[in-house]
Amino acid sequence: MPAKLDRFYAVIPAGGIGSRLWPLSRADAPKFLHDLTGSGQTLLKDTWDRLAPLAGEQRVMVVTGRAHRAAVEAQLPQLADENVVLESEPRDSTAAIGLAAAILERREPGVIVGSFAADHVISGDALFQHAVAQAVAAADAGYIATIGITPTEPAVGFGYIECGDRLEVPGADDVEAVSSFVEKPDLATAKRYLAGGRHLWNAGMFIARADQLLAEIERNKPELHAGLVELAAAWDDPATRGPAVDRIWPNLEKIAIDYSVAEPAAEAGRLAVVRGHFQWDDVGDFASLAKLNTAGRSGELAILGEGARVLADASSGIVVSRSKRVISLIGVHDIVVVDTPDALLVTTSEHAQRVKAVVDALRLGGSSDVL
């Protein structure tokens, strides 16, 4: 068991459908409610299991949509009622994480919040926990901290963090300033990043004192900040929460925390990065899912799904079985077959990114029943 971290509160934003994982991920069964690794439990539960030992079970907050409340509570029976923050509609990550920070800062001034997506896959829990501990130390020293993942290949599907000078942080020996955030690069650029050693994958993990996180939002998005503070003030009184949510939440600006906090803080020299040496993947599409479940060995066929009846001959890629049907593959390579009771997807790893376009086409074409 790792040592609990003082003043640390974990926040898990559990939002986003994961459209590129359709028809596995759905509006009513988003990515974080699936077992994508064959671990036997959902990504959300995996995330809880990594964070609860660090923060304590009473100090993990989940921000999710109203529609997912029951599913989240079923997954996380130890989750305290006061640590469930329900969104009436999605307003992006600044609103979700900022509201959690504002609520927690009122309850416990000086709290350090760390935000970790509910639907990423991580292995190497000890390395993860070590990185979080360093990030908490950096947050305690006044930085907004992030954890960047040491690249293992020239990935073009992730954003990158460019490291700057080493920072002196008490209790942490591996913290650097962030020079800049970089959007998803092309392959040549990604290869340079990998060779150079100064770029890390942006895993969207942010750790900071709640008051400093809020101050950063206030600097860059003052109206959004005002709304979050007002909402937090009304939150813990049942008589005031509902009306405040109805009035304020739908009008909050939708903006990712990368833009409202991380990039401006990096420019101002207030962002620190800890190098994470654990394995991480955001499992953005079926190509990543295939890779993850074959441990990157091409030529293998990954099979996901309890009780899957798959008969494959000379085939590779991934089959996700969510129906009870017999699935037979013959001579198909790098294939992606996702079999659910009401929808079937057949594509290849190469085209996995295009699944989102199909979801959009289905929506426009009146097939929302399967989305």
Positions that interact with a second copy (CB under 8 A): 23, 309, 311, 313-314, 324-332, 335, 337, 339-348, 350-351, 354-355, 357-358, 361-362, 365, 367, 370
Shortest Cβ 150–a second copy spacing (Å) = 32
Nearest to 287 by CA among 345, 349, 351: 349
What is the residue type of 261?
V
Shortest Cβ 33–a second copy spacing (Å) = 21
Shortest Cβ 23–a second copy spacing (Å) = 8
Q: Looking at beta carbons only, is 229 or 337 nearer to a second copy?
A: 337
Q: What is the DSSP letter of 173?
A: S
Q: What is the DSSP letter of 133?
A: H
Shortest Cβ 326–a second copy spacing (Å) = 4
Shortest Cβ 18–a second copy spacing (Å) = 16
Q: Determine contact, residues 203/149, Cβ cutoff 8 Å.
A: yes
Buried b / exposed e over 257-284, threshold 16 CB at 10 Å, is bbebbbbbbbeeebbbbbbbebebbbbb
DSSP 3-state assignment of 113? strand
Q: Looking at beta carbons only, is 194 or 344 nearer to a second copy?
A: 344
Shortest Cβ 338–a second copy spacing (Å) = 9
Q: Looking at beta carbons only, is 294 or 348 nearer to a second copy?
A: 348
Surface-to-core class of residue 290, CB atoms within 10 Å of its CB (0-12 exposed, 13-18 middle, 19+ buried): buried
Nearest to 275 by CA among 120, 160, 365: 160
Q: Determine contact, residues 48/120, Cβ cutoff 8 Å.
A: no
What is the residue type of 232?
A
Residue tagged 């376009």 (tokens): 357
Shortest Cβ 159–a second copy spacing (Å) = 25
Q: Determine contact, residues 160/187, Cβ cutoff 8 Å.
A: no
Shortest Cβ 68–a second copy spacing (Å) = 23
Q: Looking at beta carbons only, is 27 or 346 nearer to a second copy?
A: 346
* Both structure tokens of 115: 């935000």
Q: Determine contact, residues 43/76, Cβ cutoff 8 Å.
A: no
* Both structure tokens of 36: 């994508």
Residue tagged 């890629």 (tokens): 317
Q: Looking at beta carbons only, is 131 or 345 nearer to a second copy?
A: 345
User: CA-CA distances (angstroms) from residue 46 to 32, 56, 118, 370?
Assistant: 9, 15, 8, 27
Q: CA-to-CA distance for 104 and 99, rounded, in angstroms?
A: 8
